[in-house]
Structure 1
Amino acid sequence: MHFEFFSLETIQEWTQQYGYWVVFFGIMLENAGIPIPGETITLVGGFLSGNGELRYSLVLLCAVSGAILGDSAGYWLGRWGGVEALAKIGKFFRLPSNEIELARKKFLGSADRAVFFGRFVAILRVFAGPMAGLSGMSYPRFLFFNSTGALVWGTVTTGFAYYAGRLLPIETLVSGALKTSVVFLSVVMLWFAAPLVFQWFKQKFASQKQITVVENLPESEFATSAKDD
């Protein structure tokens, strides 16, 4: 949940006034667990670079470096703070502790994908770092996928805002980006859910096959099998 005073007009005004610092600290604080609309701030930075108020290369540098540092802070928070620290972050989003624990367990089997693709989804972007630290993922491994994801995300986000901002007003630009983020969230959820669904069907098929075999056993064999048990 973002603070209400972070309106699009306010973000644009701050970015015009303070420039690259707003982009850097905005995305860094969001990735560290503070509920700030970092992606919207980055889009505004890219938009302003498209109309010549800021330099694109510096906006990209601030977005990527802020994302890496913010997620790294989240990683060490999870590594040192454990479940209690993660639960405090969850309170910002009104997520109960049992849901956070369930997410942590699911995270263990897909840490690399979660760190990389979580960069593109607001909620996952906040929790990927702490979850990685909490799950025991090594920092060099985390840093690789975190940096790679930040570079791809930063390039796509600022590049989109840079070029699309020349044709669209900022309101339409941000609205379109948010809709795209929802679609990407659906794709990521499908990515993570597919193995679980496959495993469920596999177990169900195996159980059904076992029941069928037992039902087809002759009564004498079934009685012998039951007697042995």
Structure 2
Amino acid sequence: MVEQWIQDWGYAAVAIGAFAEGETVLLAAGYAAHAGLLDWWLVAAVAAVAATAGDQSFYWIGRLWGARLLARFPRLAAQFPRVADLLRRYPHWAIVGVRFLYGLRIAGPIIIGTAGVPPWRFALFNAIGALLWAPLIAGLGWGFGRALSGLSSQIQRVELGLLILVGLVVAFAVLMRWRAGRRASRSK
């Protein structure tokens, strides 16, 4: 049932997730692609398009209403100096890199729009960032799936060893309790 849901709705989930933040959904989709439930290339493509669209939307929110948002949301305003400094020092790489900075995925484009970065520049470097980000994160999910499947036979051996160890510990604890009870009854 879960597998069918992933096959039916997985790409929609990737699009919705990548539009906003997306890392967790994209990691899971990469894992699902490794399991054969989704196509990895399609996952990466959907994520890149949705992430670009999402950040463009947040950019325009910042461009149109940024000053009011900064006044209304102090946490967003607190991020402004950090992103503005990045934009001054590395104007193009800041746009690409903000996608990879945890906690700035939505705030970053809003602040970039507020800072007055030209729309064409943001669109170009936002798309470059999405084209780097989507396959990287989906690839990490796929790689995790591969590593996990490679460990499955080893995990079965470890499980058996742990089961034996737990059994020995429980047996030892029962034996020690039994001996302590016998000593206590003899001393009375």
**Above 0.5 in TM-score?**
yes
Is 1:27 matched with 2:11?
Answer: no
> 1:51 and 1:127, CA in 2 relative to 1: closer, same or farther beyond 3 A?
same
Is 1:106 matched with 2:90?
Answer: no
Moved beyond 6 Å, runs of 4+: none
- List per-residue Cα deviations over 1:180-219 (Å, max 9, x = no partner): xxxxxxxxxxxxxxxxxxxxxxxxxxxxxxxxxxxxxxxx
* Residue 32 (structure 2) aligns with: 48
> 1:154 and 1:147, CA in 2 relative to 1: closer, same or farther beyond 3 A?
same
* Residue 149 (structure 1) aligns with: 129
Give the distance between the partners of 1:13 and 1:39, measured in 2 at CA.
22
Q: Which structure has the highest helix share of the two? A: 2
Q: What displacement does 1:155 show? A: 1.2
After superposition, residues 112-127 of structure 1 pair within 5 angstroms as 112-127=92-107
Q: Contact (CA 8 Å) 2:20, 2:106: kept in 1 or not? A: no
- List per-residue Cα deviations over 1:60-81 (Å, max 9, x = no partner): 1111011100000011000001
Q: What displacement does 1:107 show? A: 4.3
Q: Contact (CA 8 Å) 2:18, 2:51: kept in 1 or not? A: yes
* Residue 164 (structure 1) aligns with: 144
- List per-residue Cα deviations over 1:120-153 (Å, max 9, x = no partner): 1221222221122111111111111111111111
Q: Contact (CA 8 Å) 1:28, 1:66: kept in 2 or not? A: yes
Q: Contact (CA 8 Å) 1:44, 1:161: kept in 2 or not? A: yes
- List per-residue Cα deviations over 1:62-119 (Å, max 9, x = no partner): 110111000000110000012222455x56xxx263x244335424403322211111
Structure 2 residue identity aligned to 1:168: L
Give the distance between the partners of 2:80 and 2:144, measured in 1 at CA.
40
Q: Give the aligned CA root-mean-square deviation in angstroms.
A: 2.5
Identify unmatched segments of 5+ residues in structure 1. Answer: 1-9, 31-37, 170-229
Aligned residues: 147
2:104 counterpart SS class: helix
Q: Taking CA–CA contacts closer than 8 Å with sequence separation of 6 or more, which of the two structures ends up with the larger relative contact order?
A: 2
* Residue 76 (structure 1) aligns with: 60
> 1:166 and 1:139, CA in 2 relative to 1: closer, same or farther beyond 3 A?
same
Percent of aligned pairs with the same amino acid = 32
Match of 2:113 among 123, 133, 139: 133
- Relative to the length of structure 1, the TM-score reads 0.57
* Residue 206 (structure 1) aligns with: none
1:168 counterpart SS class: helix
